[in-house]
Amino acid sequence: MPKVLFLPHKIILPQGGEFKAIEGETILSVALRNNIQLEHACEKSCACSTCHCIIRKGFFSLSGWSEKEDDILDKAWGLESESRLSCQAIIGTVDIEVEIPLYSVNYVTE
Ligand code: FES
């Protein structure tokens, strides 16, 4: 069973945390199941960038990404080459390390 290590985030998860994942589950699903309040303004439909995260370890073990995810990611705050939308990135068999960016861009509330 792969594990997801969420690095400390000063508001959402100050101590960070490591959680077991079910193979085939998304990063967002692991977060929400463990009461990590990761934003997901479009309810996981790949239409916002609020669930943006950066994969610090295990990036290539995740499912591939679509052109639509790529387009949405372009709007994310703090975009990096190993950024993913946590609602789209499906966990494989490898442990991963995830950074939740300090800010997100929520066009719904701005
Ligand atoms: Fe909107 Fe992931 S929740 S793209």
Prediction pTM value: 0.94
- CA-nearest residue for atom 4, ligand 1, is 46
Q: DSSP code of 8?
A: P
What is the pLDDT at residue 110? 43
User: What residue spans define the domains of the chain?
Assistant: 3-99
Q: Judge if the beta carbon of residue 51 lies within 6 A of ligand 1.
A: yes
The average confidence (pLDDT) of the chain is 94
Q: Could you read off the pLDDT of 72-84 as tens digits, one per residue?
A: 999 999 999 999 9
Q: What is the pLDDT of residue 47?
A: 94
Once rounded to an integer, what is the mean pLDDT over residues 5-30? 96
Ligand 1 atom nearest the C-alpha of 52 is 2
Q: Which residues contact 6 (CB under 8 A, 6 or more apart)?
A: 13, 16, 17, 18, 19, 31, 36, 98, 100
Q: Is the C-beta atom of 87 inside 6 A of ligand 1? A: yes
> What topology is assigned to 3-99 in CATH?
Ubiquitin-like (UB roll) (3.10.20)
Mean pLDDT for 12-29 is: 96
Distance CA 41, CA 78 (A): 18
